[in-house]
Amino acid sequence: MSSVFRLLDAVSHLLFRIACLLVVAIVLIVTYDVLSRNLGLPMFIWAVNSVEYAMLHVTFLCLPYLVMTRGHVSVEVVLTYLPVHVRKAWEFVLHIIAALICFYLAWHSGKSFFTALIEGTYEVRSFDAPMWTLYASMPLGFGFGGAQFLSFIARGESFYGAAPEAHAGM
């Protein structure tokens, strides 16, 4: 089972690194776009659309890594005041609900991905982009994000890392 967890974590890291490369590309494209406008250099007509698409993909490619590292937003106030056994049960329920939501969204975004792929639809803006490229990162992010939520249960780890008492009063 630990090899499955290592593989899941490796894929999450890989998706995160791809997202980091996209962020670097966004910075470079935006920097050149601003400089070219101010210095009278040739402009890339595809810059704005490319940055929009990259930001979309960064969001979903980061999801599994953020879940794995507990970097997502969560509210622990209620858990802080629950007895330990109730908190453990509530965390279990939260893991299942979060995983089910992720898998549901992975399913629907996957259907959209395959529909766009089969129909061959395009988004026409400053350049023509196949619609499936817009959906490509969504099922990956949601699917592996859901798997990361379930891995907390299988690993016997707390969703929140440290016990909520350690965060009380912050």
Total number of domains in the chain? 1
**What is the domain extent for residue 72?**
2-167
CA 65 to CA 14: how far, in whole Å? 9
Alpha helices in the chain (DSSP H): 2-39, 47-68, 77-80, 84-119, 131-135, 137-155
CA 79 to CA 65: how far, in whole Å? 23
Predicted TM-score (pTM) of the model is: 0.84
The strand pairing partners of 130, in sequence order, are 122
Place of tokens 């490319």: 50
Q: Give 1's Cβ-side CA count (13 Å radius).
A: 7
Amino acid 20: pLDDT? 97
CB 163, CB 76: distance < 8 Å: no
Task: Select from 158, 167, 169 the least CA-distant residue to 84.
Answer: 158
CA 170 to CA 156: how far, in whole Å? 26
pLDDT tens, per residue, the chain with 170 residues: 789 999 999 999 999 999 999 999 999 999 999 999 888 888 888 888 999 999 999 999 999 999 998 876 666 777 777 888 888 888 899 889 999 999 999 999 999 999 999 999 888 877 888 899 999 999 999 999 999 999 988 888 776 655 544 544 44
CA 159 to CA 91: how far, in whole Å? 7
